């Protein structure tokens, strides 16, 4: 069965959950810390509070994904999108 073979060799899913999930959680946390409409002292904590939840969610998604490739693709694209938002936000903040 294909599913059982994937469960027995899930290094792609595991690395996507652990490494990709960490990067995604950081990127999402930073995005919220930049864009959330409140004082810097307040929104700084939003990113920190979201970080564990995003990482856990990413790990659960990656571990249950059909393949490591798919897990990396989804988490990687999301990470890149949020990182792009972060870069744009930081640029706009510094330009303003």
List contacts with other proteins (CB under 8 A).
3, 7, 10, 26, 29-31, 33-34, 36, 38-49, 51-52, 55-56, 59-60, 63-64, 86, 89-90, 93-94
Tell me how far CA of residue 57 lies from CA of 8, 25, 32, 62, 88, in angstroms. 22, 9, 17, 9, 25
Question: Considering just the CA atoms, what is the radius of gyration of the chain in Å?
Answer: 16
Smallest separation, CB 16 to other proteins (Å): 13
Nearest approach in angstroms of CB 12 to other proteins is 13
Q: Are 68 and 15 in contact (CB under 8 A)?
A: yes
Between 46 and 73, CB nearer to other proteins: 46
Contact call for residues 41 and 33 (beta carbons, < 8 A): no
Q: How far is the CB of 26 from other proteins (least distance, A)?
A: 6
């Amino acid at each position: 069965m294909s599913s059982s073979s994937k469960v027995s060799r899930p290094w792609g899913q595991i690395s996507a959950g652990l490494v990709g999930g960490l990067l995604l959680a950081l990127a999402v946390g930073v995005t919220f810390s930049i864009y959330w409409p409140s004082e810097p002292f307040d929104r700084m904590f939003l990113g920190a509070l979201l970080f564990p939840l995003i990482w856990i969610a990413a790990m659960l998604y990656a571990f249950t994904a059909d393949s490591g490739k798919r897990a990396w693709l989804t988490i990687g694209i999301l990470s890149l999108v949020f990182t792009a938002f972060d870069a744009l936000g930081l640029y706009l903040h510094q330009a303003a």
